[in-house]
Structures are given as C-alpha cells and as structure tokens.
C-alpha cells in the first residue's frame, strides 16, 4: 500500500513530537522518573435493555472484568475513576467500600458523553505524576423501566425549570432543534443522516455486544416512527444498562504484565464553549483541535478511524467538522463522499456506536474509547479496521439546558505508532 510509506514517515515525526512532550515533562518535573501512561484492558459488561440491578452491580462487574483481563489483583488497583448517573445517593467514594478497594487516587466523573475522555485525561496525568500506579476507569449505569423518565426530571436545575415542563421530549426535542437548524443552514438531508445510521448498523453486525443486530434499510430509517420532527426513531439511541472500562498504567507496567496497550497521544476537554452562540452548531473542539493534533503529532488525514459521540447523527457531522475532517457546513458533502463502514473509506464508529449498541448512560462516554483501544491493540471484537495505527475518540455531553456543554477528544496510537 502506497499509504504505508507515508505513514511510516509521519509516524517518525509523531514519535519525535511525543518524545518531546515527555522530555519536557521531565524537565519541569525535576528529578521525577520518566513515566508514560498508556491505556489497556478494554472491557465491556454486556448491555441489557432493562436491568433490575443497580449501577453498583455494573461498576463492580466492570472492575471484575478489568482484573480478569489484566490478571491483576484487586489490591493492585490504587486509582479509581467512575462515571455514572444512577449511583445516587452514592458517588465514587461509596463504591470503594461497596467494592472493597483501597485506593490513593479517586475521581467521580458524571459527565455523560464526555466522561470517558475526561477520565482518561485525568487518570493519565495521575499515573504520569506518580499519584497512582494503576487506575481503573469505569463508565457504568443501570436502566430500570422508568429510570430514563426520572433521570430527565432530575438531570439539572435548568432542565427541571426550563426544559422538562415543555413536552418532556428530553434530549430528543433539544436535538430536534439542532438537527432542524443544521439541515436548514447546511443543506443536510434525512438521507445523509440515514447513511451514517445505516453504516454504523453495518459495523455493529460484527460486534457481539450491540443491542441492534438487524441490518437497517433506508426505507426503514426514513419511515420510522416520528419522535420530534425531524428526528425519527433510528436517529435516537436506546437507553440501556451496561458498563465499559479500561485501565491506565505506565507503559512499563503494561509491558511487564504482557498487556497489549495503546498510547495516549493527546487529549483535550472543554466545557461550556461558545456560550454566546444562539444555537449550538459547534463545540469546544474548535478551540482545542490545533493543540490536540499538535500534541499528538498527527493531522486529521493521518487518522485511521474515528469514534464520534453519536447520540444523534447530526452530532457526528458537527464533530467531524469541528475536528477538522471537513470545514463547517461541509458535513453533508463529506457524508456523501464516504462509506463509514469499517472496511470503507472513513471507518466511523466501528462497533456500531451508541446508535446500534445502545446508550448505557455514562458507559456511552466510554464506548468509543474502549472500541478505539480494542482496534489499536488487536483485541477488536467487531471487524478490524485494516492497518489501524491512529484512532480518534470523541466525547460530547451534558445537555443541562439547550446544548451539550462538554466536549473532549483523545488521539490514541498503536503501541508502535
């Protein structure tokens, strides 16, 4: 493949950039040991539509899966980061006793679609700073029959005061506003969104944990039950219960344990970006992408696959624009140019994304990241992206009123990339 040589060149450039970043850290860190944190042990607690178990069950089973995969003992875990909406009244601290773990670094990251990226970002710093050796990052939620309706009511003060009393469409109505505005502003059509949803379903057919296992046709997509115009059923994710997780540890530790790992080339997060925008047509990535790619030593064209936060297909378009794969407003054109299947021209959401796998609360904020780690470590459960070296996972979340407040992204690389 002609592409391979170009890649090798860029890889060297990237290593230089990455190496500089680590060296710079040592310079500022004085006598501190040079440490590079990596991600490993991607796990999933299989999703179910409804569960009678509490969130604690899913966090606990995720931790068990992490230990099983890494062959570590519980006592080896000295850092814990948990993202969950349904733990209430508990937070991460209650979980330490519930799960019987003693840690010296603890984080509670209830940031929905951004919690995986933020957890990784913070855990990486903790490991590199030496505050923890092995951090278990877990996103988990349960879903009882009525818990989605209840969580809408208590999601935020703004939602309770200024969204919930208006038809209780929850995020469906909010994203209907954005989708409708995006379509009018940039000429996107229902067929464009259909293409993304159908391609992701295609990708999901090879992913064992996807709740949707049936191929989606254009006709089915277009004629699905209307939810909030222009959004129909297959534009929406299915709330469910489940968990995702990974471990963050030093490269040396991962090596000595014989664990396949991915490198964290760069991460970014931004909250409440562009508060003066009348309606959300962009996210914080616009402010951070230059630094993100600079730190990662890559450009968008070097990225082999992307895991967007696809709570609605319009958000995938906005993320692809804001992260530099095309300019603002050219999302529809970009969609028409690519296939988005794992074996196609722009592999997107290679496990099917939330649209096909399901949205297990905060686990959805981990879904893309966990899939990216699997792809880059050769542990893929879904079909493999051919020769994947660099992957991008995107986080987006927390519609407390009229827009998603959190945005984040992580560029991950294969161990040798």
Determine which residue in the list 173, 257, 287, 415 makes contact with other proteins, applying CB under 8 A. Answer: 173
> Per the omega criterion (within 30 degrees of 0), is the bond before 230 cis?
yes
d(CA 170, CA 188) in angstroms, rounded, equals 23
**Beta carbon nearer to other proteins, 125 or 160:** 160
Q: Interface residues for other proteins in 356-415 (CB under 8 A)?
A: 401-402
The rounded distance, in Å, linking the Cα atoms of 100 and 248 is 20
H-helix or E-strand containing 67? helix 55-70
d(CA 238, CA 357): 8
Please identify, using beta-carbon distances, which residue of 7 and 403 lies nearer to other proteins. Answer: 403
DSSP state for residue 144 in the 8-state scheme = -
> Considering the rule CB under 8 A, would residue 52 count as an interface residue with other proteins?
no
Q: Is 53 exposed, middle or buried (0-12, 13-18, 19+ CB in 10 A)?
A: middle
**What mask of x and - would describe binding to other proteins in positions 140 to 169, judged by CB under 8 A?**
--------xx--xx---xx-xxxxxxxxxx
Nearer to other proteins by Cβ, of 183 and 415: the residue is 183
Q: Is 329 in the site for other proteins (CB under 8 A)?
A: no
- Which residues, at least 6 apart from 132, have a Cβ–Cβ distance to it below 8 Å? 78, 79, 103, 104, 105, 123, 126
Which residues have CB under 8 Å from 35's CB, separation 6+? Answer: 127, 128, 130, 250, 251
Q: Which of 69, 96, 180, 339 binds other proteins (CB under 8 A)?
A: 180
Give Cβ neighbours of residue 210 (< 8 Å, ≥ 6 apart).
Answer: 204, 351, 352, 356, 357, 358
Q: Report d(CA 143, CA 241) in Å as an integer.
A: 5
Contact residue for other proteins among 21, 69, 76, 177 (CB under 8 A): 177
Least distance to other proteins from the beta carbon of 310, Å? 20
Among the listed ranges 275-283, 303-311, 320-328, 345-353, the one in contact with other proteins (CB under 8 A) is 275-283
Among 38, 63, 216, 228, binds other proteins (CB under 8 A): 228
Nearest distance from residue 156's CB to other proteins, in Å?
A: 9
> Strand, helix or coil at 327?
coil
How many residues line the site for other proteins (CB under 8 A)? 38
Query: Contact, 40 vs 263, CB < 8 A?
Result: no
Instruction: Output the smallest distance, CB 312 to other proteins, in A.
Output: 12
Which is closer to other proteins, CB of 57 or CB of 164? 164
Closest separation between CB of residue 274 and other proteins, Å? 12
What x-and-dash track marks residues 184-203 binding other proteins by CB under 8 A? x-------------------
Angle at 206 between CA 205 and CA 212, to 5 degrees: 35
Instruction: Compute the least distance from the CB of residue 229 to other proteins, in Å.
Output: 4
Residues that bind other proteins (CB under 8 A): 148-149, 152-153, 157-158, 160-170, 172-174, 176-178, 180-181, 184, 225-231, 275, 278-279, 401-402
């Amino acid at each position: 493949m002609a592409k391979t040589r170009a890649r090798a060149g860029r890889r060297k450039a990237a290593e230089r950039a990455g190496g500089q970043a680590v060296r710079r850290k040592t310079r500022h860190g004085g006598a501190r040991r040079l440490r590079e944190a990596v991600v490993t042990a991607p796990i999933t607690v299989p999703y179910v539509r409804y569960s009678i178990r509490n969130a604690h069950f899913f966090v606990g089973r995720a931790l068990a899966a992490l230990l099983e995969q890494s062959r570590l003992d519980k006592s080896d875990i000295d850092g814990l980061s948990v993202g969950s909406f349904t733990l209430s009244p508990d937070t991460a601290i209650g979980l330490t006793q519930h799960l019987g773990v003693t840690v010296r670094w603890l984080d509670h990251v209830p940031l929905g679609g951004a919690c995986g990226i933020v957890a990784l970002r913070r855990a990486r710093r903790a490991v590199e700073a030496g505050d923890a050796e092995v951090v278990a990052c877990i996103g988990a939620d349960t879903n009882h029959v009525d818990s989605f309706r209840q969580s809408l009511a208590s999601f935020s003060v703004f939602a309770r005061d200024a969204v919930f009393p208006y038809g209780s469409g929850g995020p469906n109505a909010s994203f209907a506003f954005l989708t409708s505005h995006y379509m009018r502003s940039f000429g996107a059509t229902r067929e464009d969104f259909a293409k993304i949803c159908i391609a992701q379903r295609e990708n999901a057919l090879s992913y064992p944990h996807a709740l949707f296992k049936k191929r989606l046709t254009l006709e089915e997509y277009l004629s699905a039950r209307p939810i909030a115009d222009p959004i129909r059923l297959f534009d929406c994710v299915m709330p469910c219960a489940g968990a995702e997780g990974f471990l963050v540890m030093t490269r040396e530790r991962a090596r000595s344990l014989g664990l396949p790992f991915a490198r964290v080339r760069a991460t970014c997060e931004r909250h409440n970006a562009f508060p003066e925008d009348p309606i959300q047509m962009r996210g914080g990535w616009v402010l951070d992408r230059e630094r993100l790619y600079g730190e990662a030593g890559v450009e968008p064209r070097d990225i082999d696959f992307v895991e967007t936060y696809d709570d609605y297909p319009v958000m995938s378009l906005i993320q692809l624009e804001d992260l530099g794969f095309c300019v603002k407003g050219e999302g529809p054109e970009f969609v028409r140019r690519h296939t988005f299947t794992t074996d196609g021209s722009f592999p997107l959401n290679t496990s099917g994304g939330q649209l096909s796998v399901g949205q297990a609360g905060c686990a959805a904020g981990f879904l893309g990241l966990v899939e990216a780690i699997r792809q880059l470590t050769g542990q893929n459960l879904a079909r493999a992206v051919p020769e994947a070296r660099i992957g991008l996972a995107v986080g987006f979340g927390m519609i407390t009123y009229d827009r998603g407040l959190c945005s984040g992204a992580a560029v991950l690389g294969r161990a040798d990339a």
